[in-house]
Amino acid sequence: MPPFALSLEQQDFMRETRRVAVELLPVVAAGRSGRINRELLRAVAEKGFLAQLFLTSGPSKVQAFDVCLMREALASVSTEIETAVALQGLGSFPFLQWGSPTALRNWRSRVLDGTAVAAFALNEPGAGSDAASLALAAQSDGSGWRLHGEKTWISNAPDADVYTVFARTVPGRRASGITAFVVAGDSPGLTGERLDMLSPHPLGRLTFDGVRVGAQDVIGEVDDGFRVAMRTLDLFRPSVGAFAVGMAQAALDIAVDHTTTRSAFGGVLADLQAVAHKLADMASRIESSRLLVYSAASAYDAGVDRAEVTYRAAIAKLEATEAAQFVVDAAVQLLGARALQSGHRLEHLYRDVRAPRIYEGASEIQRTIISRYLTHQLSREIR
């Protein structure tokens, strides 16, 4: 067996994940576009997906490879199901791994059974790709802090029940002056509004007007919140790539089915060399991306040097999300107008596939991470 092949158990896991996801499609259909589907979140919890993500409270127990397999399988069936699971994981991972006993007691069981919706609040109007420049102020009030400022483009906002919030505790120190906090969605002084987006992904804006947080709400260490954010993204960036691979695979499957059954020019579309070669390009991009995702996840699970983990995660996210954009667009081109009809699976994928090239680090940021690793690595070798 070649080293990149999935084990029989892993293949069975993906098949079972897809089978269960199909069962949940009626729950997806009952939801509202751009809104949190709480019934769906409870359903994915009942099916065990959330427990599979974060069964334990120790970071060493979270297997990035398993997360990637799950996200790929779910995305190949329904982006809504995949997104519900992924957003819950992203929003809760920091405090489930590094939160205080109080935070775990208040939120762990509710997050894992899907009765409390979690969200990851990092982006701000003036701090997107440059996350270290965030300005949400955490002003000391003696025994705790008061949060003042705004977050935007926050998934599951403003209706989440609990947020992982990154705030500046030391002005002017960029990454070394940021602290992560657990903030309840019903905290006094916390308000928000929904943002209508191209995809059905729920996003919103949050305003903090003196929201009170205490020592029990700190995630990790005071002034070390940027590391919490980056360690979280090291896990989720490869799995964003897995999400993209799942979408791309779904698009390719649709394109193959259409081009091998659609009569044209005395045969079927796939008989045309231009069409056949396009399918080959699509499959090659998907397989390459899949292997990069698996490589990055394996590096995370093996506990290799964090700089290398970040490097591999950046490559995986960059290549997989860019490839998915290409594959979905190519599938739309092969099917023609029908693919853009409202309600068609490709029309849905065409809207969904654009966002992953931006969130959790835009493609340009991934290229910067990759190039910095290469140049710093070369400098170390020269020395």
Q: Is the pLDDT of residue 264 over 80?
A: yes
- pTM of the predicted structure, to 2 decimals: 0.92
Q: Is 383 exposed, middle or buried (0-12, 13-18, 19+ CB in 10 A)?
A: exposed
- Give the CATH superfamily of 8-113: Acyl-CoA dehydrogenase/oxidase, N-terminal domain (1.10.540.10)
360 annotated active-site? yes
Average pLDDT over residues 77-91: 95
- The matching CATH number, chosen from 3.40.50.300, 3.90.1010.10, 1.10.3720.10, 2.40.110.10, for 118-223 is 2.40.110.10
Mean pLDDT (the chain, rounded): 92
Residues 328-337: tens digit of each pLDDT: 999 999 999 9
Average pLDDT over residues 152-157: 95
Choose the weakest-confidence range: 141-145, 156-160, 210-214, 366-370: 141-145
Percent pLDDT > 90 in the chain is: 80
Beta bridge partners, 168, equal 137, 178
Does domain 226-382 fall into CATH 1.20.140.10? yes
Domain boundaries, the chain: 8-113, 118-223, 226-382
CA-CA distance, 109 to 172, in Å (whole number)?
37
Q: Is the pLDDT of residue 169 over 60?
A: yes
Options 80, 360, 364, 381, the catalytic residue? 360
Smallest Cα–Cα separation from 352: which of 279, 203, 244?
244
Average pLDDT over residues 294-314: 92
- Give the per-residue pLDDT at 34: 85
H, E, C per residue of 73-98:
HHHCCCHHHHHHHHHHHHHHHHHHHH
Q: Is the pLDDT of residue 1 over 50?
A: no
Q: Is the pLDDT of residue 383 over 70?
A: no
Beta bridge partners, 149, equal 208
CA-CA distance, 160 to 158, in Å (whole number)?
6
